[in-house]
Amino acid sequence: MPMTFFMSGKNGIQQRLNSWQDGVSGTNCPIQPGLNWTYVFTVKDQIGTFSYFPSINFQKAGGAFGPIQVNNRVVIPIPFPKPRGEFDLLVGDWYNESFKDVRSSLRKSHFDLLPKSMLLNGRSRYPQSNWTIVVEEDETYLIRISNVGTQWSINFRIQNHQMLLVETEGSYTSQIMLDSIDIHVGQSYSVLITTNQPEADYYIVASPKMVNTSESSSLVGVGVLHYKESTTPVQGPLPVGPDPFDVNFSVNQAKSIRWNLTAGAARPNPQGTFNVSNVTLSQTFILQGSLAEINRVVRYTVNNVSYHVPNTALKLADYYQNGTGTYQLDAYPANSSYPIATYGTFVVSGTHNGWLEIVFKNNLKDIDSWHLDGFGFYVVGFGDGEWTPDVRSTYNLYDPVVRSTVQVYPRGWTAVYAYLDNPGMWNLRSQILKHWYLGQELYIRVYDPDPNPAKEHEPPSNLLFCGSVIPPPAPKPTPVPPKPSPATIISINRWWLVNMGIFKEHDSNTMTKAKK
């Protein structure tokens, strides 16, 4: 009988100094069937909207994901009036087939199985099922929206209601009013809506990008915004979004999403205190996502390398064996393509406390989406065609938004800056699930030689072991000396009483009190 292993990733939670808790194959061993494992981590340096999901074996396509909210400390104000209420909205494409069947098809290079539905908080479109947000008139509400799907970016909109964008993946944004918003796989946004329309019901719509769909398609997710006193059901056509193939709309909107420099977040100082306009780059990675055939099997690659998952978690091998037998550091290029498409455990060095520029290049016809664990990165630029050093002059270095997942448009590039102040073994991957499952990932090893646990945490007490790293033998118990018998205690007490001059001993059976 096949056994299922599980592991949970926290999408966007940075795990400061603690990649032991990151929940991906490079940092954690799988949780064995029938067992459980407790993640313990702190989020004191973050605020915002995030999600969690299973991170191995294509299990995300089977569900088990959910939202994570990290709120401001009371002493740090949010940069908008407190809303009347909050709602979590998980939107994502969904396969009709079992994730195991889809996984099996992908292994055989069959890519014909595609998601068939768009779900809102696990429910199919209205009216087949009625997913509803209930609101009161003339109030403001915060909606936290996460694209937890596997393949498609979405455009999200609410009939007759504009949305004020306020936050994305741990960063407060400059507040801009939007009729609709593109949300790419793995991304999260927080928007404010004001219920200033006549009391009625209104459509909520999430439609896929780069896909032809009719209004009645199951790939168009539909819910309802219901005013509490409404007796008027939803009516009329669904609100129209941008053309799903209009990449220019999406790029221009992405460029308009900027960091709110004056807002505090996890700390009292404004977000803009950390300026990237004058940083000195320590490294540049140029990472090209492509398709390749390796041993007559189609795989996704980064720089022509399709990631091979070793039996030993990289972090374990790094800590206990210096990586020996599990991976070879910097064996594959981070700036160019490997000459021949190959399988490999792709691990590169990141300079601790250095600034890293990453240029993501997309040779595919669909929108890709990239995520970096352990850090937020500054999204400094988007472009078409080839990236060259000259295009740095087009970067936005004044107020680039900081987030953990960024889209890369077809035949285009996206550039980000990351400050590598968080030691550990950190996953860098495509968020498109079939890309990730078929090899589009690598790890960045950020190493600090100082063993001070204040700089990087030691392994947790419940550490799981796997592969070539075996659990250390349990310590032998310290023998406990036997308790003395009552006769021994009496004998010791008799000796003490005589020697202290309290009693005078006459024979083995009699004692009298000594005279003072």
User: Is 333 part of a structural domain of the chain?
Assistant: yes
Question: Is the CB of residue 359 less than 8 Å from the CB of residue 415?
Answer: yes
Length of the chain, in residues: 516
pLDDT over 80 at 477, yes or no: no
The CATH code of the domain that includes 299 is: 2.60.40.420
Q: How far apart are CA 249 and CA 124, in angstroms?
A: 27
Query: What integer pLDDT is reported at residue 266 of this predicted model?
Result: 85
The number of CA neighbours under 13 Å toward the Cβ of 386 is 4
Give the three-class secondary structure for 209.
Answer: coil
DSSP string, 420-444: --S-EEEEEEESSHHHHHTT-EEEE
User: Is 461 part of a structural domain of the chain?
Assistant: no
User: Is 423 part of a structural domain of the chain?
Assistant: yes
Q: Of 371, 358, 341, 376, which is closest to residue 433 (Cα–Cα)?
A: 371
Question: Is the CB of residue 15 less than 8 Å from the CB of residue 417?
Answer: no
Give the three-class secondary structure for 30.
Answer: coil
Mean pLDDT of 364-376: 95
User: Is 300 part of a structural domain of the chain?
Assistant: yes
The position carrying tokens 């940083």 is 279
User: Is 382 part of a structural domain of the chain?
Assistant: yes
Pairing of the two strands 377-384 and 412-419: antiparallel
Alpha helices in 225-310 (DSSP H): 247-256
pLDDT digits (tens, 9 = 90+) for 427-454: 999 999 999 999 999 999 999 988 787 8
pLDDT over 80 at 474, yes or no: no
Query: What integer pLDDT is reported at residue 506 of this predicted model?
Result: 57
User: Is 409 part of a structural domain of the chain?
Assistant: yes
Number of domains in the chain: 1
Which residue range forms the structural domain that includes residue 431?
A: 281-446
User: Is 327 part of a structural domain of the chain?
Assistant: yes
User: Is 49 part of a structural domain of the chain?
Assistant: no
pLDDT digits (tens, 9 = 90+) for 399-433: 999 999 999 999 999 999 999 999 999 999 999 99
Q: How far apart are CA 363 and CA 369, in angstroms?
A: 13
pLDDT over 70 at 152, yes or no: yes
DSSP string, 165-183: EEEETTEEEEEEEESEEEE
